[in-house]
Structure 1
Amino acid sequence: MTLAPTARPSTVTSLKVRSGRLVELVLVVFAVAIVALAYVNVSIATEDRLPTDVWWHVGLFGVLPLALHVVLRWRARYADPLLLPIATLLNGLGLVMIHRIDVSQGLGPTDGVAARQLLWTGLAVAMAAVALVVVRDHRVLRRYTYTAMAIGFVLLLLPMLPVVGQEINGSRLWIRIGPFSLQPGELAKIALTVFFAGYLVTTRDALSLVGRRFLGLQLPRARDLGPILVAWGLSVLILVSQRDLGSSLLFFGLFVAVLYVATERTSWIVIGLSLFVAGAVLAWQLFSHVQQRVTLWLDPFAPGQSDQVAKGLMGLGHGGIFGTGLGEGYPYITYFPASDYVIASFGEELGMIGLFAMLLLYALLVERGLRTAIGAREGFGKLLAAGMAFTVALQVFVIVGGITRVIPLTGLTTPFLSAGGSSLLANWVIVALLLRISDHARRPVSERRLDPTTDRAHPTEVTP
């Protein structure tokens, strides 16, 4: 009896990678619908009527993410499908709250801050689209590592110039050119993230493998401490000259976070935190404006000082768990309710549940950025995506922590929510870069382009 020949195993083919653009389109439409509903709710609560300009404002806002969605289909069809809807929803809710503050101050739909913010939103989304079209491969940015460093330092130092620099509310963070005001530090964080990623991808072996162990920590060589000491010195310079604890914490925390991702050494976090605490304590002892911030943080209800933090806390307390409802609270009593204290405004009218939902959106945005970093197949993309994600996370922590008295109050803006064009421009460009990196990470191997820095495919991306 002869046995039948054993069947040859069938060839395993790779699964087709889904682009996720349909999911993105549905979520973008859903996000715009939520914004439209919130806009209508504000008008009914404050004016007891439907807004006559709802289709104009919501329609104009809705066209912007849909146009960017078309650009993604054209230039980055495998990009992460959740980044654009999350940014759209946060940006739209920020517009709604700014409009709500305008109504409480008697400003119309064309002469209020919300109208300018909508124009800035259009410019920011356009810049994100340009970034996606021009930067067709994020690895090209590695060529400009030290150029990005120079640009970042120049942007940070611009507010110190005597002509264009401008001091507002005790912090020197702005420049004014004619009728326009800009916060260059928002754009500097992008340039410095590119520099940190390009520098550390080259030096991470020396930083992670060389050194001595002490008490369970891998201590670096003295000469390897140079970069972190320079970053620490820059953060202290910002703290002293610009009187801004938030920007100092943001830039130094960004460098330490990217350094940890590059080396996976806990010792760098310990060294970084120790340096920052030492610098902050020294600044507190030497400079009066830092002492005022700390005093306000420790006792916001003390007589004879600013009641800014106290009013923010009372607004959050008034909102309770479920909030007063959009248009039903008194957020305009708090100082800067549409910019520095926009989180307190949302906390009062949406309550703790609504505020937690918004923080969950930020957490999801950061998670998608870190997921992009994990999926990237080369070191520069990993560090750049992680740095961009940590930038958003640190900025949210600094501003929310200041409002809720976790840390001293700072003058940073809340990404996508606060009124201000500089912040919108920077954060939409960050989203565009994350979309570009995620497109490369999720793209099938057969469709990936050659490495522009070497004119060949990356070794881990060659089809076996």
Structure 2
Amino acid sequence: MTTVVTAFSPGTRRGFELLLIVVSVAVSCAAYALVGLAVDGMLPVRLLAIGGGLLGLGLALHVVIRVAAPYADPVLVPIALLINGIGLVMIHRLDLAEDTSFAVRQLGATAIGIVAAGALLVVLRDHRRLRAYTYTAMVVGLVLLLLPLVPGLGQEVRGARIWIDLGVTTFQPAELGKIAVVVFFAGYLVVARDTLSLVGPKVLGLRLPRARDLGPILVAWVASVGILVFERDLGTSLLFFGIFVAMLYVATERVSWIVIGLGLFVAGCLVAYELFGHVRNRVRVWLDPFDPELVTGPSYQVVQGMYGMADGGLLGTGLGRGSPDIVPFAESDFIVASLGEELGLAGLFAVLVLYGILVQRGLRTAIGVRDGFGKLLAAGLAFSIALQVFVVAGGVTGLIPLTGLTMPLLAYGGSSLLGSWLVVALLLRVSDLARRPDLPVRPGAPAPALSPQDENPTQVVRLP
């Protein structure tokens, strides 16, 4: 083991985070004002309320981070806040066209999500504690995924049974269930990765796993197909299985798991296509949305979204100057099409770049943290965002069949916002440990020993 002693001590960079939060809110407020000027010819009445509320929430979370996670990644919160703010702007623009008040509700949901994120940072001071609840997280995740099937509690919305009725509102438990499932996968794979990666026959250059080691991926596949069968939720089943395969590859670095996962995915798609009419309809809409038999029915939403994005072109019609309200569920399922119409391809690409930065910071956290559980947890959370963005944007643009998921942090929906902000909070917690400087070592003192989970053969000791 080589010991490297350096006098460098990284700062917390909380000042940089504060500056980025102010810039994020300023950009959101400017866009909010442009919508009001374009639609009504005057600044929106609620500009100060929305802008002040968003800034207050961002500053409150910033203060919590300073106290509870001072070394956390300084870019995560500003990027998440900016995406959230852009979503508020577009929802407000649709409110003006449809005479609704979804933006105020979205701000309330944002407050709940940010407060929950701050509370999680205060309560959970070390992400490694979650490893003790690996199988508890599995049970919680499965219960949350299956709650919509409970008679009298679950609700069917547009053919999918993914909601539960809480009396005053509805909730989509899968948004929290995916977080619990990621915790379980991380805890399980950090223990089983040696068996899954080192043992098995080699066929055609690929080291295949033993038959008994296929159990976990088969269970994940059966569970995802079960969600698709009973809840008719193509998006959640795809996200659930995709996260597991991605984390399995990160844990084992074996391409064979990707090959097996893709094979099972194709098999599941073929089975679903043969058994379920709503899956066949979505595939038909994907292959030929302009079919005269579909254009006034199943493919109407997709076609209207495509027309809107085509009308936006490269630079868009301008905020407040398009017609995104003619697309059904423009504030939730098709908010990507709404942004594409008024911001154009350039604006939509800029939003996707923001998501790319968010995912990159998550993966960077996974690389930087030492413990194996933290690596898998951060990677799984980052992949959950990346997969969800790909599935939603791909469905709206016609790259893949439409699934019904919503864009994290951007689309209207309290469940999605709560789950997304909790994901950000967990990434903040892991990044705090990843970026925290090591304890100083006095000259002549022995270097600290590596923990059993430390995979880095070089110990770096930073002095203040």
TM range (shorter): over 0.9
- Please, which of 211, 222, 243 is the counterpart of residue 254 of structure 1? 243
CA distance in 2, matches of 1:30, 1:431: 19
SS in 1 for 2:161: strand
Whole-Å separation in 2 of the counterparts to 1:163 and 1:70: 42
Of all paired residues, the percent bearing the same amino acid is 59
1:221, 1:142 → 2: CA distance?
Answer: 26
Kindly indicate whether the alpha-carbon contact (under 8 Å) linking 1:446 and 1:463 is maintained by their aligned counterparts in 2.
no
Which amino acid in structure 1 is aligned with residue 22 of structure 2?
V
| AA of the residue aligned to 2:190 | V
Counterpart check, 1:224 vs 2:217:
no
Say whether residues 1:57 and 2:50 are aligned partners.
Answer: yes
2: CA distance between counterparts of 1:341 and 1:447? 52
Matched, 1:187 2:180: no
CA contact (8 A) 2:312 2:345 kept: yes
Letter paired with 2:135: Y
> What residue is the counterpart of 1:147 in the other structure?
136
CA distance in 2, matches of 1:274, 1:463: 42
- Deviation larger for 396-405 or 12-21: 12-21
Match of 1:134 in 2: 123
**Residue 46 in structure 1 maps to residue 35 in structure 2:** no
Question: Which residue of structure 2 lines up, in the alignment, with residue 451 of structure 1?
Answer: none
Instruction: Give the drift of 1:240.
Output: 1.3
Output the TM-score relative to the length of structure 2: 0.93
One-letter amino acid of the structure 2 residue matched with residue 408 of structure 1 = P
Is 1:199 equivalent to 2:188 in the alignment?
Answer: yes
Q: Render the CA deviation track for 1:294-316: whole Å, top value 9, x for unaligned.
A: 11111111122221111111111
Which residue of 1 is the match for residue 18 of structure 2?
Answer: 25
5 Å matches for 1:390-405?
390-405=383-398
Report the secondary structure of 2:321's partner residue: coil
Whichever residue aligns with residue 204 of structure 1, its letter is R
Matched, 1:407 2:400: yes
Q: Does the Cα contact within 8 Å between 1:340 and 1:412 map onto a contact in 2?
A: yes
Check conservation: 1:331, 1:348, Cα contact below 8 A.
yes
Task: For 1:14 and 1:380, locate their aligned partners in 2 and report how far apart those are by CA, in whole Å.
Answer: 29
CA contact (8 A) 2:110 2:417 kept: yes
**Secondary structure in 2 matching 1:132:** helix
Q: Does 1:389 align with 2:382?
A: yes
Tell me what 2:203 maps to: 214
Give the structure 2 partner of residue 244 of structure 1. Answer: 233
1:326 correspondence with 2:319:
yes
**1:411-436, CA deviations, whole angstroms, 9 ceiling, x for partnerless residues?**
10100011000000001000000011
> What is the alpha-carbon distance in structure 2 between the residues aligned to residue 266 and residue 437 of structure 1?
27
The match for 1:234 among 201, 223, 240 is 223
Match of 1:4 in 2: none
3-state SS in 2 of match to 1:328: coil
The match for 1:380 among 366, 370, 373 is: 373
- Judging changes above 3 Å, is the alpha-carbon distance between structure 1 residues 74 and 310 closer, same or farther for their aligned structure 2 residues? same
Measured in 2, the distance between the counterparts of 1:424 and 1:213 equals 44
Matched, 1:315 2:308: yes
Task: Tell me the distance in 1 between the aligned counterparts of 2:409 and 2:64.
Answer: 21
How well do the aligned residues superpose, as a CA RMSD in angstroms?
A: 1.6
TM-score (normalised: structure 1): 0.93
| Cross-structure match for 2:274 | 285
Say which of 108, 115, 123 aligns to 2:104. 115
Tell me if structure 2 keeps the 8 A contact 1:79–1:438.
yes
Task: Give a deviation string over 1:271-303, Cα, whole Å, max 9, x none.
Answer: 001001001101101211111111111111112
Q: CA deviation at 1:52?
A: 2.4
**Partner of 2:164 in structure 1?**
175
By how many angstroms is 1:179 displaced? 2.1
Supply the distance in 1 between the matched residues of 2:32 and 2:270 (Cα, whole angstroms): 45
CA positional deviation for 1:235 = 0.7
Structure 1 equivalent of residue 147 of structure 2? 158
> Which residue of the other structure, out of 242, 263, 267, is the alignment partner of 1:274?
263
**1:140, distance to aligned residue in structure 2 (A):** 0.2
Aligned pairs for 1:48-87 within 5 A = 48-87=41-80
User: How many Å apart are 1:457 and its aligned residue?
Assistant: 8.1
- Whether 1:302 and 2:295 are equivalent positions in the alignment is no
Note if 1:434 corresponds to 2:434: no
Q: Report how many residues are paired.
A: 443
Q: Aligned to 1:434, what secondary structure does the other structure show?
A: helix
User: Structure 2: how far apart are the matches of 1:78 and 1:12?
Assistant: 20
Q: How many angstroms apart in 1 are the aligned matches of 2:420 and 2:342?
A: 25
Give the letter aligned to residue 68 of structure 2.
Answer: R
Give the superposition deviation at 1:405: 1.1
Q: Of 96, 103, 106, which residue of structure 2 is paired with 1:103?
A: 96
Match for 1:68: what amino acid? L
Residue 252 of structure 2 corresponds to residue 263 of structure 1: yes
Which residue identity does 1:387 align to in structure 2? G
Q: Which moved more, 1:50-59 or 1:330-339?
A: 50-59
Q: What amino acid is the match of 2:258?
A: I
SS of alignment partner, residue 8 of structure 2: coil
> Helix, strand or coil for the counterpart of 1:78?
coil
User: 3-state DSSP class of the match of 2:152?
Assistant: coil
Letter in 2 for 1:210: V
Task: Report the Cα offset of residue 244 of structure 1.
Answer: 1.8
Cα separation, partners in 2 of 1:321 and 1:26, compared to 1, 3 Å: same
CA deviation after TM superposition for structure 1 residue 241, in Å? 1.3
Shift of 1:95: 0.6
Q: CA deviation at 1:447?
A: 8.1
Counterpart amino acid of residue 337 in structure 1? A
Moved more, 278-287 or 262-271: 278-287
Deviation (angstroms), 1:80:
0.5
Unaligned runs of 5+ in 1: 1-10, 449-455
Contact 2:5–2:460 (CA under 8 A) maintained in structure 1: no
Q: Which runs of 4+ in 1 moved over 4 A?
A: 459-464
What corresponds to 2:445 in structure 1?
none
Q: Output the CA distance in 2 between the equivalents of 1:173 and 1:410.
A: 12
Q: Distance in 2 between matches of 1:240 and 1:99?
A: 36
Structure 1 residue matching 2:365: 3-state secondary structure: helix
Q: Give the CA deviation at 1:61.
A: 1.2
Distance in 1 (CA, whole Å) between partners of 2:231 and 2:414 is 20
